[in-house]
Structure 1
Amino acid sequence: MKTLFRSLVTATLLAAPALTASAQAPSSAAPATAADTARILLNPTLINAVNTQSFEQFRETVRPLVARMAGKKVVALGEGTHGTAEFYKLRFWLTRILMEEHGFTQVALENTYGGALRVDAALHQRPAPALKPLMQKHLLSIWQNQETAEMLTWMQAYNRQHRRQQVSLTGIDAMFGSDDALLVQEGLSKQNPALRPHIEQLLKSTAFQDAMWLQMNSSSFKFDRKAWLSNGLAGYDAAEQLLKALPTARLPRATRETLDLTLQNSRMVFDYPYQVKFHKRESSRDSLFAAMTQLLVRQPGSKVVVWSHDAHLSRQSMDPTDNNGGGTGAFLERMFPGQYFVLATSTAYGTFAATPQAFVSPVSPMAAYPLPAPKAGSWEISLAQVSSPAFFFNTHQLGPQDAQRPQRLVGQTPTSTEQYGNYQLSKAYDALLFLRTTTAATPL
């Protein structure tokens, strides 16, 4: 089994190079061959120029792309960095089109389910509460920006105008679990008194683990493996017992369904110690992402738009030896054969928002950093030569140019700009949206 520290940081997407083996790029990526580094000149017929000046102009130029997404059950919209303003804005516009025109009702972030649910409540209330404090308390800092707030504000307005067809924010991650536990307490505390010890244990275990994740950003942090295992196993068991009791609880149907999702997610929060203890292996964060997505669309007719990093949503892992190396898309393709569509987003130059903290949390500070030029032989360096500054293309039409070559996969830290995964694009994504120059997302 890999080192325990690495098994802990499997929970961190693309952590800083100094901290985890999965992030020691470019050395962790497979070495590029001579064929991989040859400059690609894309066939002009593959290029679909995109107008990003306004929503209306954007909608007209992406109609062929949306047509391929419209009939799917799960549409995944990736991000090549965790802090690019244009990636947030254009994914919002795509999500809006899918919701307004094609029956999608959920957008799922790389965020714990309970935290997203707290923010979602504000999208349905009248009068509408202020979003900023809720976002800062319940969402990871990668979502705490003006661009995400713009989408949530639109969702508030949409819900005021469409009472029968509401749209919702949700989450597929399982990191900071206190929001899950508090929702369970609110929903079940007045039920069978025998459930209260399990609720109290769940609250205790999530508080312990959340505090540990926050402390991991401190140089003085000392990991207590025994306490981590004991706490996590107790939390997992508490969530399990409450899930078993849920069918007999006297609750409205909608409340029961929400609590079921909350408890499923809460159990995932403790999957890391559970897998270490009982299966002697690391937990797969990507399989948990997929499992949570599957739960979100288990009702007939349900459709979801997923927002996460390109590396996660890809059908291929950037590092097959790392259980946080990506490949959520492979799990989703098996769960929904022919019903999964993934769009990657990528850029070459400009700025991006990042945090110096290796473990991203709701309190991680975000600031703008320069985006270095892509390395020679990468997809980005070739795509930047296309005359159009913004365009998309169907990866399955690349033909002989679809060679395996480096794709930049920037995480949440400033140093993660040197991180690459080797991809044959058609095996990783259905389409790619490229913007030559981009800017950092604007923190709230």
Structure 2
Amino acid sequence: MDRIGDARYVLLGEASHGTADYYQVRDVLTRRLIEEKGFSFVAVEGDWPDCQAVHCSVVAAPGAPEDPARVLADFRRWPTWMWGNTDVAAFTRWLRRHNEQLPPERRVGFYGLDVYSLWESLHAVLEHLREHDPERVDDALEAYRCFEPYAEDPESYAVAARLAPEGCEPQVLSLLTELRRTAGRAGSPDGSLAEFAARQNAEVLAGAERYYRAMLEGGPESWNIRDRHMTDTLDRLMEHHGPGAKAVVWEHNTHIGDARATDMADTGMVSVGQLMRERHMGKGVVLVGFGSYSGTVVAADAWGGVPRVMDVPPARTGSLEDLLHAALSGERALFVFPHVQFQRPPTSGRGEWFHEEHGHRAIGVVYRPGYERLGNYVPTVLAERYDAFCHLDRTRALTPLRPMAAESREQQTWPAGV
């Protein structure tokens, strides 16, 4: 809390999407940031339409379910356990109770930053225009007709876009331009969320269209489209909440950490944490990473597969987690790093362990413990990737809100699953 000080952006990571301890520590810290430092909203690595429904519940919007857990349990996009779990349910229930004590204009929001919801966002735009601006429905229908032949299958669209590189981009950009032009003016949290959400769904539509076209090409482009979209969304939310707004972000370490302190930079990949430092360091940006030595996690063997509780083996010899486990005798610890000027390549020879490069484990929604020594470790200079680091040593799998489902037909959208 002392390190955060007056910072307006606090990004809280996780080393996997299926570990209860990471969610619980983020919950405790986020509650304090809201109560003691007046943070304005929580933004997560989730879809905008689904998280908008959670937002409506936690701010007690008219007609929204009183229990946010009901909304979380209805999430359908795989992997549902990322947000539809008991720990997020506990946090959002607390947030609802907290907000009920505040006037509407001061209630703390809950939003999704991600780019995947192409069809969900298109349907949301259509619904909004039919209700609020029927004269512009034709623009949305033109985009809808372009995507309709692909039966809501992103891989089919990506393959077709190879033959017609322009794809549905002209229709999407035309729709987005109109919504940008007429969207309600940002700047106050009690402004028109409906107008803001319609514009944001159009932004998601444009980002997802670019993402899925780039997906089959491989390389860093699709990853960068996604992380730039999440960062741009965060900027729009800050503008919407007005001067003095403060944001807490919950995402995987691979997003909230600074990519320049890892080998991601060598392949041309950026990250939300890097982009936030580049854009907003003067307003205060604090990046907090997480890690553990062993435990259990919820994940699947393949994208769209059936999730299950898996054992996380002891960390690879010589990795960051292995060295911390040995040094701390299995205890938990928090490290807050000195303010340093970012440097690349790593600042070897300085003597401090946190300025040395070590492998740092990353587990996605797809995980194969038996093969993790061949991958799952990101070369990292810890004090440059994060401002603080929580080592939790042994961690436990989270508990999904609903039974683990049968295999999904959802196509793989990023091989690392993060």
Do both proteins adopt the same fold according to a TM-score greater than 0.5, normalized to the shorter chain?
Answer: yes
> Contact 1:374 / 1:381 at 8 angstroms: preserved in 2?
yes
> Contact 2:11 / 2:251 at 8 angstroms: preserved in 1?
yes
> Contact 2:46 / 2:112 at 8 angstroms: preserved in 1?
yes
Aligned: 1:400 with 2:352: yes
- The match for 1:306 is 249
Q: How far, CA to CA, are the matches of 2:151 and 2:23 in structure 1?
A: 27
Q: Counterpart of 2:352 in 1: which secondary structure?
A: helix
> Contact 1:146 / 1:441 at 8 angstroms: preserved in 2?
yes
Q: How far, CA to CA, are the matches of 2:4 and 2:315 in structure 1?
A: 29
Aligned: 1:240 with 2:240: no
Instruction: Give how far 1:133 is off.
Output: 4.6
Q: How far, CA to CA, are the matches of 2:183 and 2:153 in structure 1?
A: 32
Distance 1:415 1:206, change over 3 A: farther
> Contact 1:111 / 1:173 at 8 angstroms: preserved in 2?
yes
Matching residue's letter, 2:291: S
Q: How far, CA to CA, are the matches of 1:372 and 1:403 in structure 2?
A: 24
Distance 1:192 1:312, change over 3 A: closer
- The match for 1:343 is 288
After superposition, give the CA deviation of every residue in 1:135-156 in whole Å (9 maximum; x if it has no partner): 2326642222111111111112
Task: Count residues with an aligned counterpart.
Answer: 366
> Contact 1:112 / 1:172 at 8 angstroms: preserved in 2?
yes
Q: 1:112-127 residue pairs with structure 2 within 5 A?
A: 112-123=47-58, 124-125=60-61
- The match for 2:343 is none
> Contact 2:117 / 2:204 at 8 angstroms: preserved in 1?
no
Q: How far, CA to CA, are the matches of 1:276 and 1:345 in structure 2?
A: 28
Instruction: Give how far 1:229 is off.
Output: 4.9
After superposition, give the CA deviation of every residue in 1:140-173 in whole Å (9 maximum; x if it has no partner): 4222211111111111211222234211110111
User: Which region of structure 1 is more displaced relative to structure 2, 83-92 or 296-305?
Assistant: 296-305
Q: How far, CA to CA, are the matches of 1:352 and 1:326 in structure 2?
A: 27
Q: How far, CA to CA, are the matches of 1:82 and 1:303 in structure 2?
A: 24
Q: How far, CA to CA, are the matches of 2:151 and 2:109 in structure 1?
A: 25
After superposition, give the CA deviation of every residue in 1:252-274 in whole Å (9 maximum; x if it has no partner): 64433333333223322222267
Matching residue's letter, 1:311: T
Q: Counterpart of 2:397 in 1: which secondary structure?
A: coil
Aligned: 1:415 with 2:368: yes
Aligned: 1:93 with 2:52: no
Aligned CA RMSD, in angstroms, stands at 3.2
User: Which region of structure 1 is more displaced relative to structure 2, 222-231 or 302-311?
Assistant: 222-231
Q: 1:120-269 residue pairs with structure 2 within 5 A?
A: 120-123=55-58, 124-125=60-61, 128-135=65-72, 136-137=74-75, 140-141=79-80, 142-164=82-104, 165-203=106-144, 211-213=152-154, 223-226=159-162, 229=165, 231-234=167-170, 236-247=172-183, 253-269=192-208
Q: Counterpart of 2:281 in 1: which secondary structure?
A: coil
> Contact 1:113 / 1:170 at 8 angstroms: preserved in 2?
yes
Residue 382 (structure 1) aligned to one of 309, 323, 336: 323
Q: How far, CA to CA, are the matches of 1:209 and 1:322 in structure 2?
A: 32
Distance 1:163 1:204, change over 3 A: farther
Instruction: Give how far 1:184 is off.
Output: 2.1
Q: How far, CA to CA, are the matches of 1:443 and 1:254 in structure 2?
A: 29
- The match for 2:264 is 319
Q: Counterpart of 1:264 in 2: which secondary structure?
A: helix
- The match for 2:347 is none
Matching residue's letter, 1:145: N
> Contact 1:83 / 1:352 at 8 angstroms: preserved in 2?
yes
Q: How far, CA to CA, are the matches of 1:208 and 1:322 in structure 2?
A: 35
Q: How far, CA to CA, are the matches of 2:27 and 2:175 in structure 1?
A: 34
> Contact 2:67 / 2:93 at 8 angstroms: preserved in 1?
no
Q: How far, CA to CA, are the matches of 2:148 and 2:28 in structure 1?
A: 36
Flag the structure with more relative contact order, 1 or 2, with Cα contacts below 8 A and sequence separation at least 6. Answer: 1
Distance 1:431 1:244, change over 3 A: closer
Residue 334 (structure 1) aligned to one of 278, 285, 288: 278
Residue 388 (structure 2) aligned to one of 423, 426, 431: 431
